[in-house]
Each structure stands twice: as C-alpha cells, then as structure tokens.
Amino acid sequence: MQKEVLQAIRRAHRRVKGDFTQVFKSITADNGSEFLDGKGLQKAAKCDEVYYAHPFSSWERESNENGNRILRRFLPKGTGLSTLKPRELKQIEDWVNNYPRKIFGYKTANDMYAAAA
C-alpha cells in the first residue's frame, strides 16, 4: 500500500504545472501503514515535513476530514471507486473543484489553481 501512495503523489506531481512545492508544503497523515515511509512521502511530494496525527484525533487532519465530508455527499463510506464509471468520477471531481470553500475566501479550488498559474 505504501508503494501506491508514493505512486499517487508522483502522479499528482506530474499533473501539477509550476512549482509543486507551493501545492504540497507539508503532509499530515493518519497512522495507517500506507503512510509509514515518511521520508519517501517527503521525497515524492518534495515537501518540507511529514506530520503524523495522533490516533482518534481527527481535528489534527481538519482539511482531510472536510474533504471526506464533501466526498460523502456522493460516495457513502465503504463505496468502492471501482464501481463508478470514469464519467461519474469526473462529475464528482468537477463538482468538488468548483465548490466554494471558506478556507479560500469562498473561492473554488479551480479559482485558486488558476490564480497560481
């Protein structure tokens, strides 16, 4: 599982244009075994730090929990992504990336990405 996480970060790195270090300044992971390779995560994301949340401390991963809450509108817990068609995943991705967020001053992720480009 660690290998898949590192591969996903590398794929994200290739997809992001510009300075990837402005996207990933740090990573805060839960304590799952897929995140055990902290140095590998740091190297793959080219970020300064990898932090680990304490068990049962979801407030330490607030952005992650908010992202999960947003995705749960479409994907109930336990839903396998393999059951979805690429078109369905794209619709969810588009909705999430065009959802205004308080943390961005009620701009969308797409607005923030366009401003950084």
Query: Is 9 inside any structural domain?
Result: yes
Q: Work out the angle at residue 80's Cα, subtended by the Cα atoms of residues 78 and 81, and round it to the nearest 5 degrees.
A: 135
Q: Is the pLDDT of residue 1 over 80?
A: no
Query: Is 21 inside any structural domain?
Result: yes
Q: 117 and 70 in one domain?
A: yes
Q: What is the bridge-based pairing of β-strands 49-52 and 26-29?
A: parallel
Q: 43 and 79 in one domain?
A: no
Q: Is the pLDDT of residue 117 over 80?
A: no
pLDDT for position 107: 96
| Region at 58 (left for phi over 0; alpha for psi -120 to 50; beta for the rest) | alpha
Question: How many domains, in total, are found in the chain?
Answer: 2
pLDDT for position 8: 87
Closest by CA to 30, choosing from 42, 38, 21, is 38
Range of the domain at 105: 62-117
Q: What is the pTM of this model?
A: 0.60
Express as a percent the part of the chain with pLDDT over 70. 98
Q: 68 and 102 in one domain?
A: yes
Mean pLDDT lowest for which of 20-24, 71-75, 83-87, 103-107? 20-24
Q: 117 and 84 in one domain?
A: yes
Distance (Å) of CA 42 to CA 13, 59, 81: 12, 22, 26
pLDDT digits (tens, 9 = 90+) for 44-88: 888 888 888 888 887 788 888 888 889 999 998 888 888 899 999
pLDDT for position 98: 96
Rounded to 10 deg, the angle between the 38-45 and 2-15 helix axes is: 10
